[in-house]
Structure 1
Amino acid sequence: MPRLVLVLHEHAMLYEVAIAAEVFGVDRSDLSPTGAWYDVVVACPDRSPRHWLPHLPAIGVSEIGEAAADLIVVPSTDSPGEEIDPALAAALREAHASGVRIAALCTGSFVLAEAGLLDDRIATTHWMHADQLARRYPRVKVRADVLYVDEGDILTSAGKTAALDLCLHLVRRDLGAAVANDLGRRLVVPPHRHGGQAQFVSPPPSPDGSGLARTAEWARSRLDQPLTVVDLARHAGLSSRQLARRMRAEFGSAPLSWLHQQRLARAQELLERTDSSVDQIAASCGMGSAATLRRHFRDALGVSPSEYRATFRLA
């Protein structure tokens, strides 16, 4: 039975603490063919927010330096980049040196970086804090475009929902794919998203008001047709150069980039909501062929259309 220590550090955030407690701290041995599940304790540094402990009634408590572990989970911090408790940093370094795996959720990556455990490693964190992580800890190879990074003994996740993805990934590693899939269904979440997937962001809505909203809707209704910058400019009553300036101001991208984003968004929607083949979807969103759609999908999202559909249809 894997021994897991959940670190309730001084600046720990309740959401990620709750995710780890839900995945690992609830007895789900009925899902495991061997009846094994995680033996979870909360480790509290001296300045930890112990007032949270009543919210974790089924989980034991230990001091940070006394909790033997197979796996340590460090939740996010509400003060990324600040110095951490020296006893916590020392305990993390000592545990890692003895072979314990350590996983950080969201901005928990800053805690590991401050302890020196991410030096010369690939790591991720919430995309809003990725630049800060890279600036403050230049030896860390920050990836802001993935859900989580598994380096074997050190694992890091992007923000919020990606923390749940990493926890399920750990269950998959420790107890097998079938157990992780059953747990995902029980939690009503996708049981497996590859860590290399992009941190999915929904396309922004069209700006309100006159602007280019009418032209944007006109283009979206014709994504199955060839469209050029000249076509968009003509509909908007602008020159191509004027259109480019306006689109950068209103949508934050050049006309062709915006159009490409709309085609990808339409493909995502069709993959999630229809049973159309990849060839049919490629034609419907103006990608031409399945091969073209697959290439652009991998470039933009890091997964194939089939993998994307499997993930979100399961959800």
Structure 2
Amino acid sequence: MRIGFIALPKTLATGITLPSEMLHAASQMAYLKHLTSEPLSLSVFCQDGDSQEVTGGLTLKAQGSWEGLLNCDMVIMPPLWGNPLPMLTHHGELIGILQRLVAERKPVIAAGTGVYFLAEGGLLDDRVATTHWYFFGRFARRYPKVLLKPKQAITYADEIYCAGSVNSLTDLVLYFVRQWYNDEIMSEVERHFSHEVSRTLNQPFYRLGGLQHDDEDIVAAQAWLAERLDKPFHVSELAAVVGLTERTLARRFVQATGESPKQYWLQLRLQRAEELLRESNLTVQEIADMLGFSDASYFIKLFRQRAGVTPADYRNVVRAKQFSV
């Protein structure tokens, strides 16, 4: 798996360094656990193929020029600092490369103002997209054919992923880590980068570990489940809420999220448990009670299956990384 990062003069360095560090860590873990025969190949590409100064005065060593992106299996376009329009006029060649990548249906990820490069090449016409919130109005006026989704942190359409910010980009990285490897490695990466990575449960069209979708009935079902993490439910009850038969709900829910409603609800509860362990002083028993687990030992077993460690060990690892005043 070859992943290429695009570097431009105004590229935000964290849009390259943080995702690459997360991917490198995941790749090394998978390699040591014999889940893959060789680590990921992570490379930076710039216009002249030599090096590129990015924001903050940092200079990144490149592994090739734009043409090298065509040999990658996935390409990541990081966000840019400031107004992206001047960059568009000076890098038409890069837009052409992106058009070729999309034509070959290779996954392309653009974050923040990096999304402008996809839109400028017509690659987002009649497709959903998002960008940095500061540019929503200007983006919509310049690209009226793009189906801009201001409320979405991440969008997906035809192997094109758009993320609104670096934080959203790292959420997407965690998603791919889980898809390529497993839950244990995803959780390990999250723990190591817990203070840099911002994970949220309420992202209607994208959920970590699930599939990107625009099924509004299932979005409503997901929202209903997120509001009752401590209350058991029957699938018939959920079906009545969204106006579907149980069979139709079950089929469409799996199509949209990759999981059954019960599995999805369990993962929401365990994700919430991780947040409480990181951000509160509640005991493991209290967290189990809050999330509707009548048996704390059963909660600990499920948590360990997901995260690879017990709740207490998870808290110790996370707390050990926090700065104290």
Q: Percent identity?
A: 21
Matched, 1:196 2:203: yes
Q: CA distance change for structure 1 residues 116 and 177 in 2, over 3 Å: closer, same or farther?
A: farther
What is aligned with 1:71?
74
Q: Between 33-42 and 87-96, report the one with greater CA deviation.
A: 33-42
Matched, 1:43 2:42: no
Matched, 1:80 2:84: yes
Q: CA distance change for structure 1 residues 191 and 98 in 2, over 3 Å: closer, same or farther?
A: same
Q: TM-score, normalised by structure 2?
A: 0.56
Q: Between 158-167 and 17-26, report the one with greater CA deviation.
A: 17-26
What is aligned with 1:121?
127
Cα offset for 1:14? 1.6
Q: CA distance change for structure 1 residues 113 and 177 in 2, over 3 Å: closer, same or farther?
A: farther
Q: CA distance change for structure 1 residues 172 and 194 in 2, over 3 Å: closer, same or farther?
A: farther
Cα separation, 1, equivalents of 2:66 and 2:49 = 11
What is aligned with 1:227?
none
Is the 8 Å Cα contact of residues 51 and 59 (structure 2) preserved in structure 1? no
Cα separation, 1, equivalents of 2:179 and 2:105 = 16
Cα offset for 1:311? 5.9
Cα separation, 2, equivalents of 1:167 and 1:118 = 21
| Alignment gaps of 5+ in structure 2 | 207-225, 232-237, 243-263, 279-325
Q: TM-score, normalised by structure 1?
A: 0.58
Q: Between 68-77 and 6-15, report the one with greater CA deviation.
A: 6-15
What is aligned with 1:173?
179
Is the 8 Å Cα contact of residues 49 and 65 (structure 2) preserved in structure 1? no
Q: CA distance change for structure 1 residues 124 and 177 in 2, over 3 Å: closer, same or farther?
A: farther
What is aligned with 1:298?
none
What is aligned with 2:20?
21
Matched, 1:97 2:103: yes
Q: CA distance change for structure 1 residues 45 and 312 in 2, over 3 Å: closer, same or farther?
A: same
Is the 8 Å Cα contact of residues 3 and 75 (structure 2) preserved in structure 1? yes
Cα separation, 1, equivalents of 2:131 and 2:274 = 22
Provide, for residues 264-310 of structure 1, a one-character-per-residue CA deviation record: whole Å limited to 9, x for no partner.
Answer: xxxx9xx9xxxx9857xxxxxxxxxxx9xx99xxxxxxx98848734
What is aligned with 1:309?
272
Secondary structure of 2:64's aligned partner = strand
Secondary structure of 1:95's aligned partner = helix
Q: CA RMSD in A?
A: 3.7
Is the 8 Å Cα contact of residues 193 and 311 (structure 1) preserved in structure 2? no
Is the 8 Å Cα contact of residues 50 and 63 (structure 2) preserved in structure 1? no
Q: Which amino acid is the alignment partner of residue 74 of structure 2? A: L
Cα offset for 1:170? 2.4
Equivalent of 1:164, from 149, 160, 170? 170
Provide, for residues 192-236 of structure 1, a one-character-per-residue CA deviation record: whole Å limited to 9, x for no partner.
Answer: 64682599xxxxxxxxxxxxxxxxxxxxxxxxxxxxxxxxxxxxx
**Number of aligned residues:** 218
Is the 8 Å Cα contact of residues 183 and 191 (structure 1) preserved in structure 2? no
What is aligned with 1:155?
161
Q: Between 126-135 and 19-28, report the one with greater CA deviation.
A: 19-28
Q: CA distance change for structure 1 residues 27 and 196 in 2, over 3 Å: closer, same or farther?
A: closer
Q: CA distance change for structure 1 residues 11 and 48 in 2, over 3 Å: closer, same or farther?
A: farther
Q: CA distance change for structure 1 residues 135 and 191 in 2, over 3 Å: closer, same or farther?
A: closer
| Alignment gaps of 5+ in structure 1 | 200-267, 280-290, 296-302
Provide, for residues 17-68 of structure 1, a one-character-per-residue CA deviation record: whole Å limited to 9, x for no partner.
Answer: 22222223457422454144320111112499713597656xx611111330
Q: Which amino acid is the alignment partner of residue 276 of structure 2? A: R
